[in-house]
Amino acid sequence: MEKRILGKTGLEVSPICIGGWQLAGPLAFDGQPDGHPDPGKSYVLRLIRELGALGINFIDTAEQYGGGESERRVGEAVQGERNKWIISTKFGYRVGPDGERDNSSSPQRITPSLEGSLRRLKSDYVDIYLYHCAPALSELEQGRDVLEQLVRDGKCRYYGISTGNVSLVQAMIKLEMIDVVQFPSNLLKDAAEMRTLALAHNLGTQVRGVMAQGRLSGRYFEHQPQWRADDNRSRADNADDYRQYAVLQTSLPLGCTMAQAVIRWTLGQAGNHSICLGAKTIEDYRDAIVATEMPALTQAESERLEEGNDYV
């Protein structure tokens, strides 16, 4: 698989990044689901290893996912081949000692969070360390000092943030404390301003939410999804009829499934380096890999897809 340069980090990453949230199993806060149905540990280990053999070398996780279970599974899956993988993890959202939601990305929490992640990942370092919980602007400089020390200590190579907040990213750019930004963007709601900002400052980018929680996958064009009670999507507003997005099928380039067209479109947007895909099956990942090897969409094909949104 052809790799892409992740902005100023210089890291060579696959255009598809494995999303670790969906592979961690269920989690609940205050009686509300914040995870996904568990595909099973042995299945996840096999999936990650098979995807590595297919050329994917990028994986994203977080200390919160599955209460740390995602990191534990990732660590076990890549053991013995750690140098072949680019691992991104996140801090700030976590499970408290009594199972409560504990949100804080204060400077004092950064190092303990990373130490915990390293233990679970069975690694001496992470390649990319991201704020998961938005930091207070007043704490950015102190946070930068902590993160820079972790870089000097060899415990993380690069750092940044997962956010859709352009103003926050601008503040971090001003303080020269961001190498990578992970942000939500898709055909229905393109984060053009964030992409432009990242491109202007040569930030590495991880794009999440490209299937818009399944709306653009093509899987629900004929029927509404029925989420399990332990799936975080069961909390969403079910008034949105997923079948309305079937109109986009009329705009598909020849030979593309809906999901493949979405992937090609996303990777064709200037500033987008890698897609953090929340798939759970080897088949979905194989289809995504095929999409990365397809010719780039022509301007006319991209415009037809974009114009299809007018009918949704």
Q: Which residues lie below 8 Å from residue 55, measured CB to CB, with a gap of 6+?
A: 1, 14, 289
Q: Count CB-CB contacts under 10 A for residue 22.
A: 21
The 10 Å Cβ neighbour count of residue 96 is 10
| Cα 59 to Cα 287: distance, rounded to the nearest angstrom | 17
- For the beta carbon of residue 70, count every other beta carbon within 10 angstroms: 29
**Given CA atoms 279, 283, 289, 291 in this order, what sign does their dihedral have?**
negative
| Given the residues 43, 65, 93, 245, the one annotated as active site | 65
* 242 annotated active-site: no
Q: Residue 55: is it exposed, middle or buried by C-beta count within 10 angstroms (0-12/13-18/19+)?
A: middle
Q: What residues are annotated to the active site?
A: 65
